[in-house]
Chain A
Amino acid sequence: AQTVTQSQPEMSVQEAETVTLSCTYDTSESNYYLFWYKQPPSRQMILVIRQEAYKQQNATENRFSVNFQKAAKSFSLKISDSQLGDTAMYFCAYTGTASKLTFGTGTRLQVTL
């Protein structure tokens, strides 16, 4: 079975600074996707960024980028120029051939002034 581990329950960053959220996963599949989802207080799940396992290039979306280390099964999220609106719960997630999402336990990010 696939597992996703987020070892940082809570993190804090000052506005305009950079923060990195960690995620590791375990799988024996070769075809899979990795995601970072944001869940603000409204609890609506919002896709932040997606990485296809067969692509070596790290995905980027504006201020959000990932460091995908396939051999190490590591998938960290970097948020640059942090904004107050980035305050949320962040979930790392995996999906393989079964298309079922497996989520990590989440990291609560607080952006402060």
Chain B
Amino acid sequence: GAVVSQHPSWVICKSGTSVKIECRSLDFQATTMFWYRQFPKQSLMLMATSNEGSKATYEQGVEKDKFLINHASLTLSTLTVTSAHPEDSSFYICSAGRAGQLQETQYFGPGTRLLVL
């Protein structure tokens, strides 16, 4: 099966700083990646769709200036939480799929736990 990695797996930062999370497809090319946010004991909420070489598409209610997404290559998408605050503390998960197979199969990264102090 396809493998998606995320880095870092855990990050603690001070309020006001920015944090970058990387999502990589290790053995396939992903023209599209998705970013989700999950609060404790809750479901996954889609934040944005990341398309290689173009601007990300954000879901309603997600601040695009707060959550910067860059998809510069077919294997890497990054999510930057700018000026992080305690309410941004959450579990962030990415997923990716092969071009033309996105609807039928998406592969998930292991997630990144963000704690903002």
Q: Footprint of B on A, CB under 8 Å?
A: 31-33, 42-45, 47, 50, 52, 91, 95-97, 99-106
Contacts and interface: CB of A to CB of B under 8 A. Distances in A.
Nearest to A104: B43
B25 interface: no
Given A42-B110, A44-B110, A99 B102 contact: yes
Given A43-B91, A52-B104, A103 B110 contact: no
B104 A106 contact: no
5 contacts: A43-B91, A44-B111, A45-B95, A50-B105, A99-B102
Interface residues of B, number: 21
Interface of B: 32, 34, 38, 42-46, 49, 91, 93, 95, 97, 102-106, 108, 110-111
Given A91-B43, A99-B97, A99-B106, 16 more contacts: A32-B103, A33-B103, A42-B110, A43-B38, A43-B91, A43-B93, A43-B110, A44-B111, A45-B44, A45-B95, A50-B105, A95-B103, A99-B103, A101-B44, A101-B46, A106-B42
Contact of B106 (A31, A52, A97, A101): A101
Contacts of B111: 43-44
